[in-house]
Structure 1
């Protein structure tokens, strides 16, 4: 073979070698990356050839696949639209999937390893393959009351079973219709997506878990827990001046509307929480010190860490505390304190559950296509930030908030409710955030709830507390059926 032919042969051999290496790299090394890429619709389109499993709430499918006569055999639909969108997410031919549709995709699509025997049986029997069902912990009455309460505002509601950690309600507004993202019309999908992209605030966010916010006076429950753990009682008299001068600063912390908490300038701790006295808790925070407050906050879960339910929950925490002035602001839930609505519900649920925090979860069980249960969630103790005795004292104080103080609008006739309001400053010329967290019945808790209204323009007591009361009552009424 002469030299030119050898060079050509070597070049061809090198090219074939590079081609084989590239094919193997794509099929082996990058296979998972390409398969899970949101731009790759080939795998997603193939899934439309089988019936995708349902997402179920109280025996009713809130996400389901229905047969069609088109090229794609099944169409994903969400019969109750906006009501459950923050939890179900969407399953889209163009934009892949989100929320439970994403975290449980393998089970819903039928590719989960737990369905391997079912897939094998399908091959032998000729039965059409199908995905499994995901059964959520949500309660329809709670979800409906939450969304009704949030109508017209931007906010979130989370409700928990304090004894198990099961999430009974998770609502976020504004919301959207996931069915419109799951059609078989690419142009219509893109048009609706562009509407959502342009919307402000973004309807696709789940404000219960996607972001954290200054909690305002909700944080006083955690400061109270630290105080009780360090020897104070609900009856301990604490300073409660009209204004609290910030150390090494010309600024002062006032009480709400510049009011006075007590004519004497001091009051029992239970009264300070009942009327949400800023100056009392600013001083109490400094007296306790950063270490005790941070330790208690982290024990409740404000530890700066994300977690999954299985949806990803953003971190809650108290941030940096540079000096006593920052500590005073932190003690009233301002400065760098941030909390998700789910975390607020967990704080209330912990007090309700004798100081034991149960791990929150959204999925009750998963089922094979024939509805046999293949996995279920067992309640799990997660943390124990306070003793049962301190939880009892906090309950007494939080009952006073609803019976006698800022949380009156959360009252339920014939039921003793425990709670705490919060009104958090955001920035100058921006309306305050409004909060409420609590539980009922106070002597035998069945539900804990947190309500967040962004820039509500009022107080937690007049904006968020009534929503919380309606949500708790809806659930308790259902227990009586």
Structure 2
């Protein structure tokens, strides 16, 4: 019994738009199933109250979608659009793997210093693992690895990523390599609302094998990677963090996307934040959902 969780949280900044908070690996015991069922109206009422309790103080927005049908179960706050940051990485990776642009075994040496179009985008993952494959790069949200993928993609490839995911983007000239990289990293030329990114992630995970590099990378992100703050003992959570700034602003906002499949999709957005704080908020929301039997 699983569901998909997507959350965003806000704090003032995150150096180099990297993600935050790493802890050691955790081995999860067998999935714990909840007992009893809730009606659609009961799920809507309970989940809305939980979201309001957690989001009210930070003026955040959130939506809850049914995993199987995509039905909107709850909505709190306004639907603001913002740059997604690293939330785009699983979508880019899935496309690149399907088209043979990279394979799950493609490795890239990360020097942790990435400069694109006069922007510094350093990686913040551990220094003892400089060689990363697709699964590890997603777990650690490696900017260098995904910049290398963007360089291999054509302008049409990147355009197709947005067409297939139905995410709003500008008519940028993707023929320029720097533009492709910044777009693939979710830092420019694209903005999403919580509902849009939740819908995109639901579609992604419905079509991913549980053994794929995308699925495994999102799982490992929560087990020991950048989304580690969202871990829930006894539950396998898939997760992805994102940190970015909107054009013309100096502060960052943070996102978290996570999954426990077959149940529902949660998206939370707060306009000031980083991915690590977003993951921590998502973990708290997820634990209360489980304790209240939200299904």
Aligned ranges for residues 79-118 of structure 1 at < 5 Å? none
- Label 1:260 to 1:411 Cα distance change in 2 as closer, same or farther (>3 A): closer
SS at match of 1:472: helix
- Label 1:241 to 1:284 Cα distance change in 2 as closer, same or farther (>3 A): farther
The equivalent position to 1:476 in structure 2, one of 265, 273, 290, is: 290
In structure 2, C-alpha distance between the alignment counterparts of 1:408 and 1:140, rounded to whole Å: 29
Q: Is the 8 A contact 1:142 1:474 kept in 2?
A: no
Partner of 1:337: 190
Which entry has the higher C-alpha Rg, 1 or 2?
A: 1
The equivalent position to 1:164 in structure 2, one of 69, 76, 88, is: 69
Residue 164 (structure 2) pairs with residue 299 (structure 1): yes
Q: TM-score, normalised by structure 1?
A: 0.48
The equivalent position to 1:393 in structure 2, one of 202, 213, 234, is: 213
In structure 2, C-alpha distance between the alignment counterparts of 1:138 and 1:262, rounded to whole Å: 44
The equivalent position to 1:140 in structure 2, one of 36, 45, 52, is: 45
Partner of 2:226: 406
Cα distance per residue 1:421-464 (max 9 Å; x no partner): 00012357632011111211xxx4312222211023xx2122x2
Q: CA deviation at 1:155?
A: 2.4
Partner of 1:30: none
- Label 1:240 to 1:148 Cα distance change in 2 as closer, same or farther (>3 A): same
- Label 1:468 to 1:321 Cα distance change in 2 as closer, same or farther (>3 A): farther
In structure 2, C-alpha distance between the alignment counterparts of 1:409 and 1:169, rounded to whole Å: 24
Q: CA deviation at 1:391?
A: 8.3
Partner of 1:151: 56
Partner of 2:262: 445
Residue 95 (structure 2) pairs with residue 226 (structure 1): yes
Structure 1: state its 5+ residue gaps: 1-134, 173-205, 303-315, 356-387
Q: TM-score, normalised by structure 2?
A: 0.76
Aligned ranges for residues 303-452 of structure 1 at < 5 Å? 316-317=168-169, 319-322=171-174, 323-353=176-206, 355=207, 388-389=208-209, 392-426=212-246, 430-440=250-260, 444-452=261-269
SS at match of 2:242: strand
Aligned ranges for residues 197-276 of structure 1 at < 5 Å? 206-207=78-79, 211-231=80-100, 232-246=102-116, 249=117, 251-256=118-123, 259=124, 262=127, 265-276=130-141
Q: Is the 8 A contact 1:158 1:167 kept in 2?
A: yes
- The alignment of Structure 1 onto Structure 2 pairs a total of residues equal to 254
In structure 2, C-alpha distance between the alignment counterparts of 1:266 and 1:226, rounded to whole Å: 22
For the aligned residue pairs, the C-alpha RMSD in angstroms reads 2.7
SS at match of 2:68: coil
